[in-house]
């Protein structure tokens, strides 16, 4: 096995602002925990320094006028006149270096794709990636450049068949937009229903158009969906479709905002359910590009992505977090000392209305999507 972990300390040069829920420090925390566990010292693991993307790569998916706008606001400032591009106060603030930040993040995801597609890696993980809301000409949902859409588009142009699986609590709308009309990319998104959560899309009826009909798969979940129903729905939908599609490469977006205590969503997944899903993904992907994503409890992000990287490398982690990490993480308000601390056990759905609704959606997908992909 050969695996690659793509990271740079340059991520720490950027900040969305003191009141913004996306804390870039979570990437450093995840890296430090992975390092403290010794997961970068394994003989088959390669630590890869991130390289910035270039604009020609970004233009595979994003419009030139939008990229021009990002360059113009890169120095910060008010950004008046850029609201048409989704830039300004709120979700997508204008901060110093926002275009540079996007180049770093997208560069890492492109490197991960190249590692798997060209350089003989089985798995590559870009924890900074997974910014799946950015549209071709507009920032959205904390995302300025859609690194997944850029990297997948580049591979699709080379003739690769890609399956993209997104487990973020928020619908991967930007990636869906990018491949809604092609059968070369299968997109599958498990997320909280758009009736209760941003971006308000990702309903089961959104199945693609033209040649892409049936290749856009959405599994919207009611609030409070927990491990039992979540993992059941995943098993019913994801493995059969991926196995039928037979992708060359599997991309995953491993957002952890579906966790019970995440402040920005209402799903009730535990780290136990997350681990089950990640283990299943490893069994589905002979070649795997893993991206980060959402997650607004920074301790959850660090622990979940360290656990995911351990699963990718067939390592079982000690429950006690390394002392060096615990000592350092206190400085940013993280006090957990256990890998699964705060999760009493695999959670169960309490709302009796959750399972019938998810069963209805699964039946819809089996009736309307499965025949197209299997065919």
Looking at the annotation, which residues are catalytic? Answer: 133
H helices, E strands: number in the chain: 12, 8
Helix crossing, 227-245 with 271-284: angle to 10°? 10
The answer to whether 307 and 278 are in contact (CB under 8 A) is: yes
Residue in 194, 202, 241, 239 with CA at minimum distance from that of residue 218: 202
Helix (H) or strand (E) holding 252: strand 249-253
Report helix, strand or coil for 268.
strand
Q: Which H/E stretch holds residue 289?
A: strand 288-291
Of 284, 273, 200, 197, the residue nearest 231 (C-alpha): 273
Phi-psi region of 202 (alpha: psi -120 to 50; beta: other; left: phi over 0): left
Q: Which helix (H) or strand (E) holds 24?
A: none
> Sign of torsion, CA 228 233 234 240?
positive
Q: Can you read off the two tokens belonging to residue 306?
A: 């360290």
User: What's the gap between Cα 290 and its chain centre?
Assistant: 8
H/E segment holding residue 48? strand 45-49
């Amino acid at each position: 096995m050969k695996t690659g972990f793509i990271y740079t300390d340059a991520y720490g040069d950027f900040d969305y602002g003191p009141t913004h829920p996306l804390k870039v420090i979570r990437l450093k925390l995840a890296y430090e925990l992975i390092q403290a566990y010794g997961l970068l010292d394994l003989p088959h693991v390669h630590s890869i320094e991130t390289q910035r993307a270039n604009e020609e790569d970004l233009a595979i998916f994003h419009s030139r006028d939008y990229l021009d706008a990002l360059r113009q606001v890169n120095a910060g400032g008010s950004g008046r006149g850029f609201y048409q591009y989704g830039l300004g106060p709120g979700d997508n603030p204008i901060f110093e270096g926002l275009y540079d930040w996007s180049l770093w993040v997208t560069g890492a995801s492109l490197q991960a794709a190249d590692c798997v597609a060209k350089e003989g890696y089985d798995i590559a993980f870009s924890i900074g990636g997974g910014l799946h809301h950015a549209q071709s000409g507009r920032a959205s949902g904390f995302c300025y450049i859609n690194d997944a859409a850029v990297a997948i588009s580049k591979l699709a142009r080379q003739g690769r068949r890609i399956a993209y699986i997104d487990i973020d609590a928020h619908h991967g709308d930007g990636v869906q937009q990018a491949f809604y009309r092609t059968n070369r990319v299968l997109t599958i998104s498990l997320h909280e229903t758009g009736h209760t959560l941003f971006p308000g899309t990702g309903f089961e009826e959104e199945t693609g158009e033209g040649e892409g009909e049936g290749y856009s798969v959405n599994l919207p979940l009611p609030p409070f969906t927990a491990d039992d129903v979540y993992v059941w729905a995943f098993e019913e939908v994801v493995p059969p479709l991926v196995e039928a599609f037979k992708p060359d490469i599997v991309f995953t977006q491993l957002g952890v905002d579906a966790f019970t205590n995440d402040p920005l969503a209402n799903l009730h997944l535990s780290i136990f359910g997350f681990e089950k899903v990640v283990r299943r993904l490893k069994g589905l992907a002979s070649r795997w590009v893993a991206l980060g994503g959402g997650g607004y409890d920074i301790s959850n992000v660090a622990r979940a992505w360290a656990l995911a990287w351990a699963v990718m490398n067939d390592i079982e982690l000690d429950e006690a977090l390394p002392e060096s990490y615990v000592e350092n993480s206190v400085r940013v308000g993280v006090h957990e000392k256990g890998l699964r601390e705060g999760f009493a056990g695999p959670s169960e759905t309490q709302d009796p209305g959750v399972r019938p609704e998810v069963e209805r959606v699964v039946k819809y997908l089996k009736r309307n999507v499965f025949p197209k992909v299997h065919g």
